[in-house]
């Protein structure tokens, strides 16, 4: 049987802190969507305890009754310090930021600033399903530019897509997922500079969803889109939500390059009323005081990536995981199993393990499934066992 790798000494691995019985006491979407006999490895919630500095910050706020409306720039200042330390990026200008309720609602508000109803919004499929939903619900058109070789952005096809999308059109935008969900691809500085150059050439406004930026594996380097040459008119969204498991504590930041500052100033004032004040406090504490916890998480995630690869090679060799450089998600190519477009349905019905189905991720999603590996090694091991049992 494949062995479970161990975390090196230091701050405890948060992925080893909770057992299944305690996790099943949670009332969030991950744990309450399916019956209790289903093992949930789907939605992007992590099976971790909250980092202690975040607990302290929230406890202090509750003790004070500090539960009003958000204000100030502490969150942006914390992100700027984190960006300088982690990504060697000193260009995050606090004065060109705004708090927004979360990354996707922030993306909607930014896209409203740079496009009109009916305009095209380009996405790299397969991609996070809410991209399709939110773009459509705001009255814009989704235009797919499928990822190329190695599930990376192909500048040649992207140029053709930009050219076609802007022909006879007033405005167009490109909703960039960086790092990419579900593939875990980390776009390189060269790739992002190519994106910026094409965007300027064709008048396409880039809005970058960078929510997974803190979750980059060892050996990979996250490059903020606004840091690359030519991205001055770009917009970005960042958050501590995914890195520290804070989805229930709503808050994110919209960032503007120098050439997009005027656009960001047009953001309606009421958008800033949507984030949770406790969310802002939690995200600020995460970025300032919980980086040791994050490092332990990153080590645990890397161990789980290796464990998953070993388990699949041993029990489901026909399933090919895409080698992820970031996120806590695994993109599984299950086409060789012959289970049709939605293998996750078979794993759920026959194995009682829930993965995210591939087809909602758009072109390139059929025959695939997304697995959330931010869980204990024991649960991950049981999940793969159930997947294999579903085929027997």
Neighbour tally for 203: CB within 10 Å: 13
Task: Provide the CATH number for the domain around residue 278.
Answer: 3.40.640.10
Same-domain status, 160 and 258: yes
pTM (2 d.p.)? 0.95
Output the CA–CA distances (angstroms, integers) from residue 127 to 10, 102, 137, 239, 364, in the order listed.
Answer: 35, 18, 17, 19, 9
Residue 4 lies in a domain: no
Supply φ then ψ for residue 274, to 5 degrees.
-75, -35
Q: What are 137-195's pLDDT values in tens digits?
A: 999 999 999 999 999 999 999 999 999 999 987 799 999 999 999 999 999 999 999 99
Q: According to the model, what pLDDT value does residue 168 have?
A: 80
Statement to judge: residues 107 and 247 lie in one domain: yes
Same domain, 95 and 213: yes
Average pLDDT over residues 308-326: 97
Range of the domain at 370: 14-51+291-389
- Greater confidence (162 vs 5) lies with 162
Express each pLDDT in 112-133 by its tens digit.
999 999 999 999 999 999 999 9
Q: Which of 289, 311, 329 is the last residue of a domain?
A: 289
DSSP 39: E
Say if residue 183 is in the same domain as residue 149: yes
At residue 7, does pLDDT exceed 90? no
Pair (302, 276) in one structural domain: no
> Cα–Cα distances in Å, from 377 out to 110, 359, 373, 374?
39, 27, 9, 9
> Does 313 share its domain with 362?
yes
Domain boundary among 244, 262, 289: 289
Q: How many domains does the chain have?
A: 2
Tell me: do 339 and 256 sit in the same domain. no
Domain boundary at 237, 266, 289, which?
Answer: 289
Q: What is the pLDDT of residues 260-290, one digit of tens each?
A: 999 999 999 999 999 999 999 999 999 999 9
How distant is the alpha carbon of residue 282 from its chain centre?
18
Question: What integer best gives the mean pLDDT of the chain?
Answer: 96
Is the predicted pLDDT of residue 1 greater than 60, yes or no? no
Report the CATH number at residue 366.
3.90.1150.10
pLDDT digits (tens, 9 = 90+) for 47-90: 999 999 999 999 999 999 999 999 999 999 999 999 999 999 99
Residue 60 lies in a domain: no
Q: For residues 210 and 178, is the Cβ–Cβ distance under 8 A?
A: yes
């Amino acid at each position: 049987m494949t062995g479970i790798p161990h975390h090196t000494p230091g701050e405890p691995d948060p992925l080893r802190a909770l057992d299944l019985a305690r996790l099943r006491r949670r009332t969030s979407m991950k744990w309450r969507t399916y019956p209790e006999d289903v093992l949930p490895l789907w939605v992007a919630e992590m099976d971790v305890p909250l980092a202690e500095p975040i607990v302290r910050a929230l406890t202090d706020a509750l003790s004070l009754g500090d539960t009003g409306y958000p204000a100030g720039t502490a969150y942006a200042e914390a992100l700027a310090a984190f960006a300088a330390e982690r990504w060697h990026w000193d260009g995050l200008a606090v004065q060109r930021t705004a708090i927004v309720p979360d990354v996707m609602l922030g993306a909607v508000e930014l896209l409203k600033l740079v496009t009109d109803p009916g305009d095209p919004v380009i996405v790299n499929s397969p991609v996070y399903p809410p991209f399709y939903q939110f773009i459509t619900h705001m009255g814009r058109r989704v235009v797919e530019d499928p990822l190329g070789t190695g599930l990376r952005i192909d500048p040649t096809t992207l140029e053709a897509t930009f050219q076609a999308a802007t022909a006879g059109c007033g405005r167009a935008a490109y909703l960039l997922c960086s790092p990419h969900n579900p593939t875990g691809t980390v776009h390189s500085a060269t790739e992002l500079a190519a994106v910026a150059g094409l965007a300027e050439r064709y008048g396409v406004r880039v809005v970058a969803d960078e929510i997974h930026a803190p979750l980059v594996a060892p050996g990979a380097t996250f490059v903020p889109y606004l840091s690359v040459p030519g991205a001055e008119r770009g917009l970005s969204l960042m958050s501590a939500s995914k890195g520290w498991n804070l989805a229930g504590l709503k808050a994110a930041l919209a960032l503007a390059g120098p050439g997009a500052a005027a656009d960001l100033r047009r953001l309606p004032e009421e958008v800033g009323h949507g984030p949770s004040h406790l969310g802002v406090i939690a995200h600020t504490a995460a970025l300032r005081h919980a980086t040791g916890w994050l490092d332990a998480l990153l080590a645990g995630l890397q161990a789980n990536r290796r464990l998953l690869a070993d388990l699949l090679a041993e029990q489901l060799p026909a399933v090919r995981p895409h080698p992820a450089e970031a996120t806590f998600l695994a993109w599984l190519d299950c086409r060789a199993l012959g289970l049709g477009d939605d293998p996750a349905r078979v794993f759920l019905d026959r194995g009682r393990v829930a993965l995210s189905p591939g087809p909602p991720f758009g072109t390139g999603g059929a025959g695939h499934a997304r697995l959330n590996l931010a869980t204990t090694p024991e649960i991950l091991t049981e999940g793969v066992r159930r997947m294999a049992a579903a085929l027997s």
